[in-house]
Amino acid sequence: MSGRTPDSVGEKESGPWHATLLTLMPEMFPGTLGHSLAGRALEKGIWSLDTVQIRDFATDRHRTVDDTPFGGGAGMVMRPDVLDRALASVEDRQGPVLYMSPRGRVLDQGFAKELADGPGVTILCGRYEGVDQRVLDARSVVEVSIGDYILSGGELAATVLMDTVVRLLPGVMGNQESASEESFETGLLEYPIYTRPAEWEGRDVPEVLQSGHHARIREWRQARAEELTRQRRPDLWQAWLDQQKITKQGH
Ligand code: ADE
């Protein structure tokens, strides 16, 4: 038994990080995840992915997976019995079972790290108006949102989640430093970056970045990161100030 609870992400086991996608559109995967960084990691066997066609678990002649909502209302709802059979068919279930939904816990970098530290995920991708609540309750499914907007289905949201997690797996990103200075890693948005040419359309790259003076460059970057965060994301800025206060009190 895995002892899985709604909030746990499971213990790390041997083998690659594994994602199982339950979907009505398995042909959507790996999609963009078969390219670039995630695609190379997939080829290298750092992570693996398989899909389950939910429709294969319908039992009637028409292979029905949905029905009208009790109480009335628009759209169709995915049936709990069909979804549960699809879920039960996943023998090597790794980590938590997630359901991509705008009602869920919002995905952020911290949650992505938790998932990357675990053995993998099983993700239920809904279509239509949603899925019957009982299967979510009965199987301790964790609802996850990728933001406050509505997509037409969970597949794209699942792709976003996997992309975010996979790039954090050991061996996926060549230069580990490039992860540690990114937006959200430090608690601040990332400072602006520049490359050649040093002058473009009358716009110069800030002098300090061309000075070779590492301490001054570090200071400049820190100041710009703070300024950007204060201007654009008051929520992150407040959290960062609070964190600074705690760190200072601790010393
Ligand atoms: N399905 C539809 N909209 C979604 C969202 N914002 N996040 C996750 N899953 C979704």
pLDDT in tens, the chain (251 residues): 333 333 445 444 578 999 999 999 999 999 999 999 999 999 999 999 999 999 999 999 999 999 999 999 999 999 999 999 999 999 988 899 999 999 999 999 999 999 999 999 999 999 878 999 999 999 999 999 999 999 999 999 999 999 999 999 999 998 655 667 788 888 999 999 999 999 999 999 999 999 999 999 999 999 999 999 999 999 999 999 999 999 888 76
Candidates 22, 24, 98, 101: which one to mutate for ligand 1, based on the most atoms within 8 Å of Cβ? 101
Where are the domains positioned within the chain?
A: 17-166, 181-249
Note the pLDDT of residue 44.
97
Fold of 17-166: Alpha/beta knot (3.40.1280)
Note the pLDDT of residue 178.
65
Note the pLDDT of residue 8.
45
Distances (CA, A) of 174 to 24, 132, 143, 165: 35, 42, 32, 15
**How far is the C-alpha of 65 from the C-alpha of 44, rounded, in Å?**
36
Atom of ligand 1 nearest to the CA of 147: 6
Tell me the angle at which helices 36-44 and 154-166 cross, rounded to the nearest 10 degrees: 70
Residues whose CB is less than 8 angstroms from the CB of residue 77 and which lie 6 or more positions away in sequence, other chains included: 66, 67, 68, 69, 128, 129, 130, 131, 132
**How far is the C-alpha of 5 from the C-alpha of 233, rounded, in Å?**
33
Q: How far is the CA of 104 from the centre of ligand 1 (A)?
A: 8
Strand partners, 21: 51, 123
With a 6 A CB cut-off, is 146 part of the ligand 1 pocket?
A: yes
Fold of 181-249: Trp Operon Repressor; Chain A (1.10.1270)
**How far is the C-alpha of 112 from the C-alpha of 43, rounded, in Å?**
21
Helix (H) or strand (E) holding 109: helix 109-117
Candidates 128, 151, 155: which one to mutate for ligand 1, based on the most atoms within 8 Å of Cβ? 151
Closest Cα to atom 2, ligand 1: which residue? 151
With a 6 A CB cut-off, is 100 part of the ligand 1 pocket?
A: yes
